[in-house]
Structure 1
Amino acid sequence: MKQKYPKKPPLSGLTALAVATILGSCTGAYAQSSGPDTNVAQRGHYLAIAADCAACHTAPGSTQPFAGGYGIASPLGSIYSTNITPSKEHGIGNYTEKEFAHALREGIRRDGAHLYPAMPYTSYTKLTDDDVHALYVYFMSAVKPVESTPQKTALPFPYNIRASMGIWNALFLDDTRFKPDPSKSAEINRGQYLSYALAHCDTCHTPRNAMMAEKGGSPLAGASLSSWYAPNITSDPVSGIGGWSSEDLFRYLKTGDVPGKAQAGGPMAEAIEHSFQSLDDADIRAMVAYIKQVPAISDNKDTAPRESYGKASGREAVYRALPANRLSRGEYLFSGECAACHRPTGQGSPDGYYPQLFHNTAVGAPIADNLITTILMGVRREVNGHTTYMPGFGPGSYVDTLSDQDIADISNYVEQNFGNPNVKVSPDDVKLIRSGGPKPLIAQLGAFTVPAMIVAVVLLTLAIFFFIRLSRKTKA
């Protein structure tokens, strides 16, 4: 029996429109649309797919695209997406194009309130004026208004003080547009624009500092993403994906499945389902070309690529010969909960629907976050009308019968027999993932966060003031 899992529907009439170029020239002004422009709206539709707007702004199981209500997990609490349909009462129907651009690029709503960077305005700030205009025309002229207000975000104090985001933006928001690198090819420049300004790959894959801002010196080097871990996708052959071929990466972005390497789950599965699979092949290849040449960032703790670990197990005969009480606890649980699909050998199903556990990045990674999260939450993605599904064994699933110790035992058995034998999982590790994953300093400080940010801004202002005074005295 398979667990029923709510499905987030793709955009109605979703098609991979061929676009001559994603990079629009900057106009320097916000043009107000005098009426629906079909060609511009179609281009805006494609850009909305590339930006993965539907994944976050459509609630699971909803038949109303862009009506909001999706709970985005963050270390500070759940942040619920808003209604971005052109409803004048509940959505963005009263936004001018300039106000739309401010929200998209600077995270400031029409009423002046700040958005949380769960809405990736820190990446969208790189969008060209032409693309902002196309998105505005699409949402205002081609999206059906939905007259409902989704659940409101209610973070605990002090994170509920949205004005504090003004300080955060002053410290960390790089409000500049994308500029092509003349030393790179047109394909690589387009790939960079797609990867950053639209697909916002950096939002998940770039490590963050104590204040949850991206570390500019470590782009795409891997980061915790609530319970999941978005791995290093730089060109390093050991820590990153430098050993992947261009075809491997193309297949992964289009399908989420590369046998013998990786399968997409969680937010990456959502991105593939709602965005990448519908993009023009030329745009995916441009992203591949860009990512393949991202400067390598290595971690000394990595001794082999994630996908290189493990081999098939010969324990199937042991299962048949030994009574259950002679198996280790992890092996006993694996045989009852996992082996029916992944086989006692870890080879998965012959058709590849259930993936092999060895030579699998989730099992060969230096940390077990994604393995634990997969067991807890399961996997679901729909590509080309075919659904890939694994039930979760955590909260909310009908098979929520495994304790933290149980999942730790299964994880350790899988790691030792199919994955990275250096990884050890404790019940506390599972408990941490259940609670939402590692929390950055800003989440741990709680009530001290806002005062600390204010002090930081005051000190920065004083430093600039004294630097200016010193410069003037030197000139005098």
Structure 2
Amino acid sequence: MTFRRTLLAIIVLGAAGVGAIVSGMWAPKTVQTPKEAQVVTSQVPNTMSRGEYIARMSDCTACHTTDADKPFAGGLAMPLPMGTLYSTNITPDKETGIGNYSLDEFKRVLREGIRQDGSRLYPAMPYTEYTKLSNADIEALYDYFMHTVKPIHQENRHNDIPAVLSMRWPLALWNWMFHTQGAYQVNREESAEWNRGAYLVQGSTHCGTCHTPRGLAMQSVASDETKSGFLGGADLAGWHAFNITHDEKSGIGGWSNQEIVQYLKTGSVPGKAQAAGPMAEAVEHSFQYLSNSDLYAIATYLRSVPGVSDDGASRFEQGSAKAQDVQLRGLPVEQVRKDMPGASLYMGNCSVCHDADGSGSPDGYYPSLYHNSVVGSDKPGNLVQVILHGVKRHTAEGNVMMPAFGEHLSDEEIATLTNFLTATYGQGDAHLKASDIKAYRSLGD
């Protein structure tokens, strides 16, 4: 509801000065385009063109592909407090896609968030980050979409947003207040690798879109490492994008560069973290395709981002092996279900993969539930989402799958199981109720 009230406030404020907006007074802040030698994408895998590689970097698939047989044809529903947005067709189809866009018009979308017809995009499209792409990379991306991507004739869906909230002209004011337009500027005091990492994190891979907190108007509170809160963690559609700053306890300051690269490449670092939900999709569709040099550049940059601390206990060091089968052995099933419902649910649903003591499999394919960033977090949302919807992650290293227990467990049972897991292998009882699980379920509808 906060976002809806804020947007209404922007509309009211904009109405007071609408003439200035229409005349173009509210132009976004602009920075000078720098020399691009240190950040332009030059080395790409032999299996793809430079433009395709930049599309992978930018994870265009995540929002614009809903059917694998129709890549980039759009149609993804994005529920927001004010209604539902649908991603658009960005294939080169001349009637329903972007086939009639010129390079300058394509660049304007990425730099300013303005479409060919002059209408403004909601910042659900991360043009606030894509603006940092170099001119050369934008040109390569344009060439890929116009000459390699297959044109698909698929009409765009109309957004399901109340008329009073669907007006786009207030976004001009939003951009004036919160959007700094222009390509990434090289920091001459840092190495080429650091600059490449900063270019990727701040721009094309747009890590801050999920991992940086947002203000009342849904604007990012920080766009780079010079501003407090950058990459300090944020809540997003029922998930929590964790703190990835260099803080030892709250962030990933205890990770090596190799571990960061391994996580981005495979989605798994045994004893630390496993990717699920939106992060699993980012690994599957984007990060696993990046070159090792780019992944190490990202790691180098992330390890330089000033730490953001929440003063809590480290989510990576919680819990220890605790066998559940011993205490249940020989007891009547009905007694166990009544007196130890959490342990009963665990043994019946989780132990076959994660073992009776929560240690997982020796090879780490089935992760340990102690020293686990999701179970050890004081924010139980990700654990609930994983139990509800499972895990699906496909990478060159193999496929990872955990079933969706939300299909056969009730809200009360999932609350009981989550509370048991956090109390047994995490920081403590999450105190969730069935109504909390119902709310989480609704976020996926």
Instruction: Identify which of 98, 112, 115 aligns with 2:121.
Output: 115
* Two-structure CA RMSD over aligned residues (Å): 2.0
Aligned 1:68-467 pairs, distance under 5 A: 68-216=74-222, 217-300=228-311, 302=312, 304-327=313-336, 328-384=340-396, 386-394=398-406, 400-421=407-428, 423-436=430-443
Once the 2 structures are TM-superposed, how far is the Cα of residue 102 of structure 1 from its aligned partner? 1.3
Once the 2 structures are TM-superposed, how far is the Cα of residue 424 of structure 1 from its aligned partner? 2.9
Distance of 1:411 and 1:98 partners within structure 2: 51
Amino acid at match of 1:308: E
Once the 2 structures are TM-superposed, how far is the Cα of residue 155 of structure 1 from its aligned partner? 2.4
Distance of 2:396 and 2:134 partners within structure 1: 31
Q: Report if the CA contact (8 A) 1:227-1:434 is conserved.
A: no
Once the 2 structures are TM-superposed, how far is the Cα of residue 157 of structure 1 from its aligned partner? 4.8
Q: Which runs of 5+ in 1 are unaligned?
A: 1-19, 26-38, 395-399, 438-476
Amino acid at match of 1:285: Y
Distance of 2:198 and 2:316 partners within structure 1: 25
Deviations 1:194-220 (A, max 9, x none): 111100000000000111111123100
Deviations 1:387-418 (A, max 9, x none): 11112233xxxxx2323221110001000111
Distance of 1:72 and 1:186 partners within structure 2: 37
Once the 2 structures are TM-superposed, how far is the Cα of residue 232 of structure 1 from its aligned partner? 0.5
Once the 2 structures are TM-superposed, how far is the Cα of residue 325 of structure 1 from its aligned partner? 3.0
Distance of 1:259 and 1:133 partners within structure 2: 40
Say which SS state the counterpart of residue 381 (structure 1) adopts: strand
Amino acid at match of 2:295: I
Identify if the C-alpha distance between structure 1 residues 245 and 158 changes in structure 2 by more than 3 Å, giving closer, same or farther.
Answer: farther
The residue number in structure 2 matching 1:42 is 49
Say which SS state the counterpart of residue 321 (structure 1) adopts: coil
Once the 2 structures are TM-superposed, how far is the Cα of residue 73 of structure 1 from its aligned partner? 4.0
Identify if the C-alpha distance between structure 1 residues 156 and 387 changes in structure 2 by more than 3 Å, giving closer, same or farther.
Answer: farther
Q: Report if the CA contact (8 A) 1:75-1:436 is conserved.
A: no
The residue number in structure 2 matching 1:23 is 39
Once the 2 structures are TM-superposed, how far is the Cα of residue 422 of structure 1 from its aligned partner? 5.5
Once the 2 structures are TM-superposed, how far is the Cα of residue 150 of structure 1 from its aligned partner? 4.2
Q: Report if the CA contact (8 A) 1:70-1:81 is conserved.
A: yes
Distance of 2:126 and 2:366 partners within structure 1: 33
Q: Report if the CA contact (8 A) 1:227-1:369 is conserved.
A: yes
Distance of 1:230 and 1:244 partners within structure 2: 17
Deviates more, 1:418-427 or 1:340-349: 418-427
The residue number in structure 2 matching 1:58 is 65
Say which SS state the counterpart of residue 184 (structure 2) adopts: coil
Q: Report if the CA contact (8 A) 2:323-2:358 is conserved.
A: no
Once the 2 structures are TM-superposed, how far is the Cα of residue 22 of structure 1 from its aligned partner? 7.2
Distance of 2:394 and 2:423 partners within structure 1: 31
Deviations 1:111-155 (A, max 9, x none): 112212121111001111111111111111111111112433212
Amino acid at match of 1:313: K
Distance of 2:330 and 2:83 partners within structure 1: 49
Identify if the C-alpha distance between structure 1 residues 67 and 343 changes in structure 2 by more than 3 Å, giving closer, same or farther.
Answer: same
Q: Report if the CA contact (8 A) 1:75-1:226 is conserved.
A: no
Distance of 1:87 and 1:310 partners within structure 2: 54
Deviations 1:174-199 (A, max 9, x none): 21321111111110010000111100
Distance of 1:329 and 1:121 partners within structure 2: 48
Deviates more, 1:128-137 or 1:156-165: 156-165
Identify if the C-alpha distance between structure 1 residues 75 and 241 changes in structure 2 by more than 3 Å, giving closer, same or farther.
Answer: farther
Q: Report if the CA contact (8 A) 1:235-1:291 is conserved.
A: yes
Distance of 1:229 and 1:315 partners within structure 2: 29
Say which SS state the counterpart of residue 49 (structure 2) adopts: helix
Q: Report if the CA contact (8 A) 1:379-1:390 is conserved.
A: yes
Identify if the C-alpha distance between structure 1 residues 281 and 22 changes in structure 2 by more than 3 Å, giving closer, same or farther.
Answer: farther
Say which SS state the counterpart of residue 348 (structure 1) adopts: coil
Q: Report if the CA contact (8 A) 1:195-1:287 is conserved.
A: yes
Say which SS state the counterpart of residue 394 (structure 2) adopts: strand
Q: Report if the CA contact (8 A) 2:105-2:116 is conserved.
A: yes
Q: Report if the CA contact (8 A) 2:418-2:430 is conserved.
A: no
Distance of 2:299 and 2:319 partners within structure 1: 27
Say which SS state the counterpart of residue 235 (structure 1) adopts: coil
Identify if the C-alpha distance between structure 1 residues 436 and 288 changes in structure 2 by more than 3 Å, giving closer, same or farther.
Answer: same
Distance of 1:77 and 1:346 partners within structure 2: 41
Amino acid at match of 2:260: L
Q: Which runs of 5+ in 2 are unaligned?
A: 1-35, 223-227
Once the 2 structures are TM-superposed, how far is the Cα of residue 343 of structure 1 from its aligned partner? 2.1
Deviates more, 1:45-54 or 1:419-428: 419-428
Amino acid at match of 2:178: F
Identify if the C-alpha distance between structure 1 residues 320 and 73 changes in structure 2 by more than 3 Å, giving closer, same or farther.
Answer: farther
Identify if the C-alpha distance between structure 1 residues 322 and 78 changes in structure 2 by more than 3 Å, giving closer, same or farther.
Answer: farther
| Percent of residue pairs bearing the same amino acid type | 46
Say which SS state the counterpart of residue 139 (structure 1) adopts: helix
Distance of 2:79 and 2:299 partners within structure 1: 28
Deviations 1:24-69 (A, max 9, x none): 39xxxxxxxxxxxxx9x9211111111111122110x431211112
Amino acid at match of 1:389: M
Deviates more, 1:64-73 or 1:83-92: 64-73
